[in-house]
Amino acid sequence: MAGFSGHWAFAFGLLGNIVSFMVYLSPIPTFYQIYKKKTSEGFQSVPYVVALFSAMLWIYYAFLKSNTTLIITINSVGCFIETVYICFYLFYAPKKERVQTLKLLFLLIVCGFGFIVVSTHFLVKASERAIVVGWICLIFSLCVFIAPLCIVRKVIRTKSVEYMPFLLSLFLTLSAVMWFFYGFLIKDYNIAIPNVLGFSFGLIQMALYVKYKNAGKMSEQKIPSDNIPNHIIVLEDGKISELTEQIIDIVKSSALSRSDKVPAVSQMKGSVAEASQVQNASVKSQV
């Protein structure tokens, strides 16, 4: 029975390596967009820094235990790929994002990882070192799954999935399933437990992608560009004075026409009055 579960554990571990490798490759479309835009503005470096830190921790944990070759292989590949991603991000990042990323790297990789290695090596007994490091790995594995959720708020606020890579969410979910069964079969719950939440978080991200993937297109269709008036009158500096003079001439001509009508009307009123006087006079004479 132990040999049977060992074969299944190796199978799930091998599948976990394959799917996890796809997880590491899934941000390639994101970095292709960064390459086309020549800037990483709008994208987050936190998931890649946290993933690098987690991979380094799992390598340290694997060296403290036996029969952990599958954990060492995939996390070594992950360290290399995440380092390439971070270097690429820093190359195209604006100054503010570059400084923030360097600070995060210093805090997590230099200070955080260095402190964990030194403290567990000198302050923890050799027999308990794997347990302590295992709990630390469990916590930061949760951070790896939670890290992409920093984009979820932006997705909900903007109703756009431009900055949330769907492939990353999909492969994280599949990887969580594989590593859960691997950890469960070898009875290493430091590996199994965080992948339960990883599966849940992956489903949430994919649900948001399905909900908002067409939101941007629908908003564009609501305001078609054909209905926007595109007739714009552009006046040159030299024509402004001409237009002003024409307006003044029109106002003057209209004023003159009105002034011409006023005397005519007064004359008509005068003639009518004279006629009425003559008529009254004739009537009186007849009487």
Instruction: Write down the pLDDT at residue 203.
Output: 83
Instruction: Write down the pLDDT at residue 285.
Output: 40
The tokens for 108 are 């997590």
> What's the DSSP call for residue 165?
-
Instruction: Write down the pLDDT at residue 109.
Output: 92
Instruction: Write down the pLDDT at residue 67.
Output: 83
pTM surpassing 0.85? Answer: no
Instruction: Write down the pLDDT at residue 287.
Output: 39
Whole-angstrom CA distances from 52 to 21, 77, 85 are 14, 10, 10
Instruction: Write down the pLDDT at residue 182.
Output: 94
pLDDT mean values, one per 10 residues, the chain (287 residues):
74 93 86 90 84 91 90 95 94 92 93 94 91 89 69 79 72 87 90 87 82 67 50 48 57 53 46 43 40
* Burial (CB count within 10 angstroms: exposed 0-12, middle 13-18, buried 19+), residue 17: buried
For helices 189-212 and 126-146, what crossing angle results, to 10°? 0
Instruction: Write down the pLDDT at residue 219.
Output: 55
Instruction: Write down the pLDDT at residue 66.
Output: 84
